[in-house]
A = this chain, B = another copy of it.
Amino acid sequence: MSERIRQLIEDLGRTETHLHHRDCLLTWEQSDADLKALLLATEIFEELYRANCDARLFRGGLAVSLFRDKSTRTRFSFASAASLLGLSLMDLDETKTQVAHGETVRETAAMISFLTEAIGIRDDLFIGEGHEYMVEVASSLDEAYEQGVLPQRPAVVNLQCDRDHPTQSLADLMHLQKTFGSLEALKGKKLAMTWAYSPSYGKPLSVPQGIVNLMTRFGMNVVLAHPEGYDLMPDTAARAEQQAEGSGGSFELVHSMEEAFADADVVYPKSWAPFHVMEKRTRLLRAGQGDKMDQLEKEAVANNARFKQWECTEELMATTRQGEGLYMHCLPADITGVSCEEGEVAASVFDRYRTATYHEAEHKPYVMAAMILLSRFSNPARVLLRALERGAERRLSS
């Protein structure tokens, strides 16, 4: 196993990245080499874990998390990444702190970072807010580092914003790579990213946006499907087309789940809120008209109900490539008859792919560790090699 790890570290050493002192906030702003390096580092951390190697790169220091939305799996993924790297997790709970008391982002970013190596942020509830907030934090950290206020420039990890969900989409890409054998093998494969019915409302757009923008880049033929009116952010399609051009893949938008599923190698049926609804929501909130949110929600849920037939059924799965298309989901899925009356996916379909979706999720802590590594170290390959060569066990063996 050690041989395989050395090989991966060598590959990483040959990959020229520019992520040092920068952050992977949106995958489409990163170079191909940066993405390749992130995937390699993810795999190295996974192999080190399985080989029972102590992969801690730090002896103390904080990993700060800030969640502006409820979360289980992302919260635990980030905590796991922190522990893996030897960092102490510290949650910035906005209800317990003075952030709400009018402190500027700039000041808070510096104040919490004197001994901080990474800051993970989830801010996905309001269109036009999440990414902007992360950029503001990142540039505050740049400034504080340049002025010598901070002895290090902490990594900012996007744990989901309004535009992208890079730790999810990269975990998904790892899953595809493992399932099909290599990144190369993804070329020409058809991936259907489709809307699906859910009784709930206001699910973020960042997963579908992240998927169509990332997978087109690896030569996949990506079909985005949703009912009329369930648009993603306006620039999504144009960018996905551009990504596809460079990679030999393709991007297509259709309004039929059937069309998307036909002969698909991979299907990703998942609900999201229409962009115009999310925008209206943000406007109401900014105008202090939170009371009108209920009305908006009622309308949105009622509109969703017109599309209950957008469900990932056995019939639809049978139309995928040889009836064996890979079902993917970022979890939790709305499973018909299990977590809701009518939902995104039939229970029997989900059951068959449950273990696969768990494996898909398993990559996330390591993707986060990889993001921290590449942002915090100028020579990540050498650091990993040193961690490997010190030969310390993660778990004492008998």
Residues of chain A having any CB pair with chain B under 8 Å: 49-50, 54-62, 64, 67, 70-73, 75-77, 79-80, 82-90, 92, 96-99, 101-104, 107-108, 110-112, 114-117, 144, 147-149, 151, 331-332, 338-340, 355, 358-359, 361-362, 365, 377-380, 382-383, 386-387, 392-398
The winner among A61, A75, A107, A149 for most chain B CB atoms within 10 A is: A107
A378–B397 Cα gap in the complex (Å)?
Answer: 10
What chain B residues lie within 8 Å of A98 (beta carbons)?
70-73, 332
A-B contact pairs, 19 of them (CB 8 A): A49-B151, A58-B396, A59-B86, A60-B83, A60-B85, A62-B79, A62-B83, A70-B97, A71-B97, A72-B111, A77-B114, A79-B88, A80-B116, A101-B332, A102-B339, A107-B331, A107-B332, A110-B361, A377-B398
What chain B residues lie within 8 Å of A49 (beta carbons)?
115, 151
Q: Is the CB of A114 within 8 A of B59?
A: no
A84–B114 Cα gap in the complex (Å)?
Answer: 11
What chain B residues lie within 8 Å of A73 (beta carbons)?
98, 111-112
A59–B54 Cα gap in the complex (Å)?
Answer: 6
CB-based nearest B residue for A378: B398
**Shortest Cβ-Cβ A-B pairs, 6 listed:** A382-B398, A72-B97, A80-B115, A83-B88, A379-B398, A54-B59
A147–B354 Cα gap in the complex (Å)?
Answer: 11
Given the known A-B contacts A76-B62, A332-B102, are A361 and B89 also in contact in the complex, defined by CB atoms under 8 Å?
A: no
